[in-house]
Amino acid sequence: MKSLSDRPVYLISDLHLEAGRPGTTGLLLDFLSGPARRARSLYILGDLFEVWIGDDGADELAETVAAAISRLAAAGTPVYFIPGNRDFLVGQDYCRAAGMQALEEPVLLEGLEPKTALVHGDSLCTDDVEYQRFRQRVRHPKWQARVLSRPLWWRRLLARAARGLSKRRNRGKAPEIMDVNADAVRRCFQILAIARLVHGHTHRPGRHQLDIDGRACERIVLGDWHGERGSVVELQGRAARLLILSRDEHGRLQMQPA
Ligand code: MN
């Protein structure tokens, strides 16, 4: 039996699960009952769901996912959830059902070298002023309480309207505006005194070596999940690996370097 510290920490984000994408849900379910069992812990860095209108609106897909996550947690891999810009309304009821713990970003990984922090990633996209204003409003507890007090049908309409609006607006934005801002990244490293930052959100998987005040640092970006293809960051010892999760010709899961 390997000791706890020999086991990797797994990070995933941007699965954007919805009923219309069963392949991605199936991949996650097999990941949770397979490779994730090896992990010391699993962190979900936001946008697990394409849309979330409140725990009382959880559908069959959400319940299936909650059951699978809670089985993993019960088998000895604690699961942590950082909300994304799609699923920031995931609440305590759902987290309890899934046996996972909600965390507020930035999350500092305890006892890990190099010192590592996790965020969803949208807070780093400061060039998108319009989005940051929207984020500030919807992340406010008062706004959330007001919205959650509305009936489900109303919240469904609101979510649909918000998605349409954001799609129309993003179409006119230059791609670099929707990527992270270099100064916001630098400040994040400086304020948290970290040497490694892992985030998702931008759907631009990659590893970026940075010099922050003379220190060698790294920013690792998780990719989104689509079809039967996922993105996983594995932290083990001091090493980090960015992996692609997929199926081999027999349908078995495989994880290969991206
Ligand atoms: Mn996102």
- For domain 4-127+174-257, give the fold: Purple Acid Phosphatase; chain A, domain 2 (3.60.21)
Cα(184) to centroid(ligand 1), Å: 17
Q: What predicted TM-score, i.e. pTM, was given to this entire model?
A: 0.96
Going by C-alpha positions, the residue among 125, 137, 150, 143 that lies closest to residue 57 is 150
Residues in Cβ contact with 69 at an 8 Å cutoff, skipping those fewer than 6 apart: 32, 79, 98, 99, 100
Distance 239 CA to ligand 1 centre (A): 25
DSSP string, 122-171: GGG-TT-HHHHHHHHHHTSHHHHHHHHTS-HHHHHHHHHHHHHHHHHHHH
Distance between Cα 45 and ligand 1 center (Å): 9
What is the rounded distance in angstroms from the CA atom of residue 159 to the CA atom of residue 144? 13
The single residue listed with the structure tokens 């940075």 is: 210
DSSP-based three-state secondary structure for 234: strand
Distance 199 CA to ligand 1 centre (A): 10
Q: What letter represents residue 221's amino acid?
A: V
The alpha carbon of 250 and the centre of ligand 1 are apart by a number of angstroms equal to 32
Q: How many angstroms is it from 206 CA to the middle of ligand 1?
A: 16
SS3 226: strand
Tokens of 23: 């392949």
Q: From first to last of its 258 residues, what are the pLDDT tens digits of the chain?
A: 556 668 999 999 999 999 999 999 999 999 999 999 999 999 999 999 999 999 999 999 999 999 999 999 999 999 999 999 999 999 999 999 999 999 999 999 988 999 999 999 999 999 999 999 999 999 999 999 999 999 999 999 999 999 998 999 899 899 888 899 999 999 999 999 999 999 999 999 999 999 999 999 999 999 999 999 999 999 999 999 999 999 999 999 999 999
pLDDT at 89: 97
Is residue 45 within 8 Å of 120, Cβ to Cβ?
yes
How many whole angstroms from 88 Cα to the centroid of ligand 1? 10
